[in-house]
Amino acid sequence: MSVDGKNRAFAYPTKAFFVRMITRDINLEDCILDLIDNSVDSAWNQEGSCPMGLGDGANLSRYTIDIQLLPDQFVIRDNCGGMSLDNAVEHAFSFGRNATADRDDFSIGVYGIGMKRAVFKLGRKVKVRSTFTQSDGSRLAFVVPIEVDTWLQNDAPPWDFDIADDNPLEENGVEISVSELTPGSASSFNSPAFVQNLRRIIARDYSLHMQRGLKIRLNGNPVVGWAINLLQSDDFIPMRVEYTDELEGDTVGIEIIGGMAAPPPESIDPDEGDDGDRRFGWYVVCNGRIVLAADKSALTGWGTEDWPQWHYQYAGFIGIILFTAANAAALPLTTTKRSVDTSSEIYRRARPRMREVSKRWISYTNQRKQALDEARKRESAAVSVPLASIAQRPAVTLPVLVAKPAQKSANVNYSVPVSRMKKLAQEFGNINMPYRDVGLRAFEYTYQDLVGKD
Amino acid sequence: MPSFNVVNYSLRPSKSIQRQLVFEGISKLKASLDFERQVYIGFGSIWFTDFVLAHRLLGIDDMISIEANEVGYHRAVFNAPYATVRVLHGLSNEVLPTLYSDGSICTRPWLVWLDYDYHFDETRKEDIISIIENSPPNSILLVTFNGGEMKYGKAPDRPARLRELFGAAVPDDLATNSCRDERMQQTLADFALDLIQSTASDLARPGGFIPAFRLIYQDNAPMVTVGGILPTKGAVTTAGGIVNNANWKCRPAKPIVAPPLTLRESAVLQSCLPSVERLSRDAVRALGFDLEEDQIETFQTYYRHCPTFVQILA
Ligand SMILES: Nc1ncnc2c1ncn2[C@@H]1O[C@H](COP(=O)(O)OP(=O)(O)OP(=O)(O)O)[C@@H](O)[C@H]1O
Ligand SMILES: [Mg+2]
């Protein structure tokens, strides 16, 4: 027996693989973020593509990204310069970046799949419009219409999409519209909770870009970015270090900042549905984009090695680690760009430095329990400073507090129906009063009544 | 005190107009949608006003009334207006789950009206979500609750309270001002609809939810009624077409605040209507009595739905 005449195994992809399969591994929100990333990359490119650290002063206030989620249509439109015709012909619509593509632009785009995956996830009828200025100074407009079902019918190469002339957009930029939405996108766009949540995600993950002036609108209303700031005083000084690392010939710039963003919580137990600690934890930023926000999990070290699990007591801490690289492939990104790739060497090497500042904060929150009044006094003296203005300093400074002997205390824990708790809170004058405070008030009230003054 | 002890349900003119509008809306839907063997589920109390309308106007036979109060339950059984009314004893969050698996009704479209006197809270929310999760295709869900602002904490506390109650759809920057005075009921109505819509979408109910009812009315406390259709996938376009048509009356922009009128007053006013022109206060005075401007406006808009009350001195 021999393999004569059968010595090649067929290994050609099918279109359905790209339309039906790779769209399953990403959720709708992340697809929309992929499209925003492309607009941001384009704006960044217009501004000259420098490393997106904190120090530089790049200004994005000229740029607006407008997103509309309608019951039967999705539209994203930017004025970020547009996609050139050559780019459309050669790169933008191919699946996967080819080896010759320019990789030195500090972009967040890396794989060459985001836009295609996003539009396939969204719907069946797609229009990508672009208007840009050519090298001779004249403007050119084109459109790439995609009928997904028709395109799917034939797997034979070459795979391509038509490009046609188009009326120019008002400003240079790209407009992608998708109709005949997939059932999943249609029902999500109908959900006010989905839309609000998307707004929250955008507000958080693009907050550094919005601090540079970028405007993002969702269904007509501007998204207001999170303000990520740290507090500073003589007692509380954030750490900030900068260094570079190498990965297979690529240089990666790393910046770590950490410290107190708010005084720790009054109580060490989270109250009912309290989102009191949602801003705190570690932020991982890759070429300007926040890929992990306010993380309290093992991804940023909590609960690993000799590092404790996140506890509500640690709220108030914010740490930020920024990675920048001309070649985004060197960044510790997952393919969906919504998490950090913990197997990345660059990231693993940065972890001990992250641990150091986290541990100092943990020990401060333990210490302050013995000297609460003093701690609160000092904490309240710290003022908010923008990240960019924080000075270099290898370690965080936190006050050393001397413990006061405390009275032995009893902890009380009991449960009652929420509706009764709410009624009592309302009677105490604040329907949102934390349960703990209702409990204390109730205790004091009874104590006064039955025991009287101490 | 259970509210049936306070006042005869039917003696609330604004509530009555609101109820009339809703039932007329549903009968419009009924002409085009498949509500075959629809089941009515509500809180009939001892008066069963909505049950009588459901039977007369919509031709619904099978009806279930939920009653938690011990005495109220026995009085409800005694007062049930038709042989096909079943009164079930218990709180709605105890009784509803038993209906989801009740073979005699669980495949037929429901018309559920959770007509609470109570304000919107965690318990009402559970009822509503469980209906969205479990009611059969082509069901209609209506919810009425007290929209009095003080029920939702003091003004500065209200945005946080609403966030707690209505979840992710409430914007992070909801202004205290949207939770004051008559804006409070509008805000509550919007968020309650958002909550229903989001729940139906997140659950991927095949036809989703089509908001259709949004009425604010006031006899004593300001009340909010919201609701809509949980259609089959096939019914979405038809249902949407009806409720988004300009002649759909179940989303009035203004609150319904109807004046209680004597038989004589309403007869005299009515004799001037219909009229394209706004009935003025002077015109009413010329008729020999007087009313506030907004009372006149409500009467003119809704006179066909206004009840009149005669006091019987026995
Ligand atoms: N809004 C836009 N403005 C300008 N160019 C764009 C825009 N959207 C897409 N492009 C072009 O299309 C290309 C392909 O985008 P796509 O998102 O598919 O891949 P990518 O961004 O290169 O990589 P990734 O898969 O990591 O996102 C981009 O590299 C860019 O050149
Ligand atoms: Mg991309």
Residue with the smallest CA separation from ligand 1 atom 21 is A109
Closest to A284 (Cα-Cα) out of A341, A245, A327: A341
When CB atoms are compared, the residue of B123, B201, B204 closest to A419 is: B123
Identify whether the C-beta of residue B69 lies closer than 8 Å to the C-beta of residue B47.
no
Residue A221, token pair as written in the block: 């209303």
A413 found inside a domain: no
A191 found inside a domain: yes
Query: Which percentage of chain A shows pLDDT scores above 70?
Result: 95
Give the per-residue pLDDT at A33: 97
A98 found inside a domain: yes
pLDDT band at A272 (very low <50, low <70, confident <90, very high): very low
Nearest listed ligand to the Cα of residue A115: 1
Contact at CB, A199 and B152, closer than 8 angstroms: no
Residue with the smallest CA separation from ligand 1 atom 4 is A83
Model confidence over A400-421: pLDDT tens digits? 887 766 677 788 889 999 889 9
What is the spatial distance between Cα B207 and Cα B203, in angstroms, rounded to a whole number? 11
User: Could you tell me the end-to-end alpha-carbon distance of chain B, in angstroms, rounded to an integer?
Assistant: 27
B307 found inside a domain: no
Q: Give the mutation target among A38, A40, A216 for probing the ligand 1 site: most ligand atoms within 8 A of CB.
A: A38
Identify whether the C-beta of residue B115 lies closer than 8 Å to the C-beta of residue B50.
yes
Give the per-residue pLDDT at B1: 41
A101-119: average pLDDT: 86
> What's the structural domain count of chain A?
3
- Within chain B, how many helices (H) and strands (E) appear? 11, 7
Give the per-residue pLDDT at A273: 42
Residues B14 and B108 in one domain: yes
Residues B267 and B213 in one domain: no
Domain boundary among A349, A372, A389: A389
Give the per-residue pLDDT at A268: 59
Closest-CA distance, A192 to chain B, in angstroms, reads 5
What is the spatial distance between Cα B288 and Cα A261, in angstroms, rounded to a whole number? 70
Look up the domain containing A377 and give its range. 229-389
B135 found inside a domain: yes
Give the per-residue pLDDT at A304: 81
Identify whether the C-beta of residue A359 lies closer than 8 Å to the C-beta of residue A310.
no
Identify whether the C-beta of residue A179 lies closer than 8 Å to the C-beta of residue A125.
yes
Residues A90 and A147 in one domain: yes
What is the interface size between A and B, counted as CB pairs within 8 Å? 61
Residue B143, token pair as written in the block: 């919810």
- DSSP state, B224? E
What is the spatial distance between Cα B210 and Cα B240, in angstroms, rounded to a whole number? 7
Q: What DSSP string runs through B228-242?
A: EEE--GGGHHHHHHH
Residue A83 has pLDDT above 70, yes or no: yes
Look up the domain containing B293 and give its range. 263-302
What is the spatial distance between Cα A96 and Cα A115, in angstroms, rounded to a whole number? 11
Residues B198 and B284 in one domain: no
Residues B229 and B288 in one domain: no
Which residues make Cβ contacts (< 8 Å) with residue B245, sequence separation at least 6? none
pLDDT band at A253 (very low <50, low <70, confident <90, very high): very high
Residues A118 and A140 in one domain: yes
Give the per-residue pLDDT at B187: 97
Which residue numbers in chain B have pLDDT < 50?
1, 9, 314
Say whether A122 sits in a helix, a strand or coil: helix
Closest-CA distance, B288 to chain A, in angstroms, reads 48
In chain B, which residues have their Cβ closer than 8 Å to the Cβ of A196? 168-171
Give the per-residue pLDDT at A308: 87
When CB atoms are compared, the residue of A196, A419, A432 closest to B121 is: A419
A304 found inside a domain: yes
When CB atoms are compared, the residue of B153, B171, B198 closest to A194 is: B198
In chain B, which residues have their Cβ closer than 8 Å to the Cβ of A272? 164
What is the spatial distance between Cα A213 and Cα A216, in angstroms, rounded to a whole number? 10
Nearest listed ligand to the Cα of residue A118: 1
B253 found inside a domain: no
Residues B91 and B181 in one domain: yes
For helices A28-46 and A114-122, angle between their N-to-C axes, nearest 10 degrees: 140
Residues B100 and B141 in one domain: yes
Pick the range with the lowest mean pLDDT from A92-106, A225-239, A302-316: A92-106
Q: For the beta carbon of residue A279, count every other beta carbon within 10 angstroms.
A: 19
Nearest chain B alpha carbon to A428: B153
Mean pLDDT (chain A) is 90
State the ipTM, two decimals.
0.73
- Tell me if A92 CB under 6 Å of ligand 1: yes
Give the per-residue pLDDT at B310: 60
Give the per-residue pLDDT at A274: 46
Say whether A78 sits in a helix, a strand or coil: strand
What is the spatial distance between Cα B41 and Cα B128, in angstroms, rounded to a whole number? 13
A171-187: average pLDDT: 96
In chain B, which residues have their Cβ closer than 8 Å to the Cβ of A416? none
Give the per-residue pLDDT at A433: 87
B137 found inside a domain: yes
